């Protein structure tokens, strides 16, 4: 396992070569953390881009299966049960987005269909199979799926389906974990607890698809030590990947209202940069870092304005690693129980979600052809 003492290869060529072999690819390349773009290139032998799909799902945190109103930072009007937005067919969305990416990059080798808005496992299993198959088969260049969801919305049947699809495709399941602290989850109106996250990852791990955790840094009343507890949990639970987001507020959300009223303050840029580095130093070196900050379109973003400057935030994070001469994983302490030894628990998807999935039938808003 990588530690803070194994950065320097031995001074003679043989030990240098051995040390290089024992390093992870990103370490051997001299990077400071295990960045997603390069990890995808290594996996697929060339550039792979994600293309975002809105398949018309809603969310149990919006339609009343667990609560209503949604998370305080989420603009869920776009996928409320009474959605007014006309959805394009999934295949058309893929074609359009691939065309857009092609104009930007000439060397794309493959695409991953990213089911992004709402809770993308919140539908009967036959409908999920149909829509995931449709995305995978709509274009020869689609090499995989990424599926965003909540920890309390992954019945074993969904995990079995993703496991099956992962035999021939690059599949990632993205969980909104956000934090380990239940009081923060309550503040966000997540309507699930960290115990739900533990149950979900203990059932989802080691099935051949990637498990990714979304984390929010800068939640009010979470101090530095509390955020570091979330960092330690990434290794303890055995996630394969993470996405880090600064808390930000957008128009039309309860959080946006509170920020405009001066009741909630967002994290300062320099504090965020330092916190991300502190966080990544505690995350296992194998974990892929898919994002280091979050942002929103300028006309929609309220605070903090600095998060729109994404490229420079990333540069500042890299510069902070350089300044410390540290890397991802330097302060990682492996847990006493290896994630792979944690027992697989019983399915704990809440009854209310299960009933809603089983009784409502097909989602009327999904456009399947």
- Minimum CB distance to ligand SF4, residue 76 (Å): 5
Task: Please provide the DSSP assignment of 201-252 as one string.
Answer: HHHHTTSSSEEEEEEEE--TT--HHHHHHHHHHHHHHT-SEEEEEE--EETT
- Minimum CB distance to ligand SF4, residue 28 (Å): 37
- Report the residue number, 35 or 177, with the smaller CB distance to ligand SF4: 177
Contacts with ligand SF4 in 44-73 (CB under 6 A)?
Answer: 59, 61-62, 70-71
- Report the residue number, 71 or 227, with the smaller CB distance to ligand SF4: 71
Question: In whole angstroms, what is the distance from residue 217 CA to residue 101 CA?
Answer: 30
Quick check: 200 and 156 in contact, CB under 8 A?
Answer: no
364: tokens are 């009327």
- Minimum CB distance to ligand SF4, residue 55 (Å): 13
Question: In whole angstroms, what is the distance from residue 95 CA to residue 50 CA?
Answer: 13
- Report the residue number, 2 or 150, with the smaller CB distance to ligand SF4: 150
DSSP-based three-state secondary structure for 52: strand
Question: In whole angstroms, what is the distance from residue 329 CA to residue 280 CA?
Answer: 6
- Report the residue number, 196 or 286, with the smaller CB distance to ligand SF4: 196
- Minimum CB distance to ligand SF4, residue 276 (Å): 21
Question: In whole angstroms, what is the distance from residue 47 CA to residue 142 CA?
Answer: 12
- Minimum CB distance to ligand SF4, residue 179 (Å): 13
Q: Exposure of 7 by Cβ count < 10 A (0-12 exposed, 13-18 middle, 19+ buried)?
A: middle
- Minimum CB distance to ligand SF4, residue 96 (Å): 23
- Report the residue number, 151 or 304, with the smaller CB distance to ligand SF4: 151
In the chain, count of helices (H) and strands (E)? 13, 9
Question: In whole angstroms, what is the distance from residue 72 CA to residue 219 CA?
Answer: 11
- Minimum CB distance to ligand SF4, residue 67 (Å): 9
Contacts with ligand SF4 in 239-298 (CB under 6 A)?
Answer: none
Kindly give, in sequence order, each residue whose CB lies less than 8 Å from that of residue 225, ignoring residues fewer than 6 positions away: none
| Using rule CB under 6 A, residue 74 touches ligand SF4 | yes
- Minimum CB distance to ligand SF4, residue 252 (Å): 12
Q: Total number of residues binding ligand SF4 (CB under 6 A)?
A: 11
Distances (CA, A) of 54 to 16, 82, 93, 308: 48, 15, 8, 23
- Report the residue number, 254 or 335, with the smaller CB distance to ligand SF4: 254
Q: What is the distance in angstroms between the CA of the first residue and the CA of the last residue of the chain?
A: 47
- Report the residue number, 205 or 214, with the smaller CB distance to ligand SF4: 214
- Minimum CB distance to ligand SF4, residue 11 (Å): 51
Q: Is 69 left (phi over 0), alpha (psi -120 to 50) or beta?
A: left
Contacts with ligand SF4 in 79-138 (CB under 6 A)?
Answer: 118-119
Contacts with ligand SF4 in 140-159 (CB under 6 A)?
Answer: 150
- Of 74, 81, 63, the closest CA to residue 117 belongs to 74
- Report the residue number, 76 or 249, with the smaller CB distance to ligand SF4: 76
- Report the residue number, 65 or 198, with the smaller CB distance to ligand SF4: 65
- Minimum CB distance to ligand SF4, residue 284 (Å): 26
Task: Please provide the DSSP assignment of 146-193 as one string.
Answer: EEEE-TTS--HHHHHHHHHHTTTSEEEEEEEEE-S-HHHHHHTT----
- Report the residue number, 62 or 159, with the smaller CB distance to ligand SF4: 62
Binding residues for ligand SF4, rule: CB under 6 A, are: 59, 61-62, 70-71, 74, 76, 118-119, 150, 176
């Amino acid at each position: 396992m990588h530690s803070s003492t194994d950065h320097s290869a031995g001074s003679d060529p043989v030990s240098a070569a051995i040390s290089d072999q024992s390093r992870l690819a990103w370490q051997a390349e001299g990077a400071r953390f295990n960045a997603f773009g390069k990890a995808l290139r290594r996996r697929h032998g060339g550039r792979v881009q994600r293309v975002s799909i809105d398949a018309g799902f809603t969310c149990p945190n919006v339609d009343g299966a667990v609560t209503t109103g949604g998370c305080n930072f989420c603009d869920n009007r776009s996928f409320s049960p009474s959605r007014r937005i006309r959805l394009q067919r999934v295949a058309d969305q893929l074609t359009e987005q691939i065309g857009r990416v092609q104009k930007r990059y000439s060397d794309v080798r493959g695409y991953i269909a990213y089911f992004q808005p709402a809770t993308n496992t919140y539908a009967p299993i036959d409908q999920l199979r149909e829509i995931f198959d449709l995305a995978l088969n709509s274009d020869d260049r689609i090499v995989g799926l990424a599926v965003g969801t909540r920890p309390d919305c992954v019945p074993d049947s969904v995990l079995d389906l993703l496991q099956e699809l992962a035999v021939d495709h690059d599949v990632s399941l993205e969980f909104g974990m956000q934090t380990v602290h239940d009081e923060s989850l309550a503040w966000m109106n997540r309507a699930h607890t960290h115990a739900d996250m533990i149950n979900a990852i203990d059932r989802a791990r080691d099935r051949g698809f990637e498990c990714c955790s979304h984390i929010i840094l800068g939640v009010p009343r979470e101090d530095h030590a509390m955020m570091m507890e979330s960092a330690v949990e990434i290794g303890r639970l055995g996630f394969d990947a993470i996405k880090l987001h600064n808390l930000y507020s957008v128009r039309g959300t309860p959080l946006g209202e509170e920020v405009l009223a001066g009741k909630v303050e967002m994290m300062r840029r320099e504090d965020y940069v330092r916190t991300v580095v502190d966080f990544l130093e505690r995350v296992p070196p194998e974990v892929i870092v898919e994002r280091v900050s979050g942002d929103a379109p300028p006309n929609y973003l309220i605070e903090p304005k600095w998060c729109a400057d994404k490229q420079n935030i990333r540069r500042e994070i890299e510069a902070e690693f350089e300044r410390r001469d540290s890397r991802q994983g330097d302060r990682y302490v492996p847990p006493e129980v290896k994630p792979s030894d944690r027992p697989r628990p019983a399915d704990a998807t809440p009854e209310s979600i299960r009933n809603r999935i089983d009784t409502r039938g097909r989602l009327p808003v999904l456009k399947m052809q």
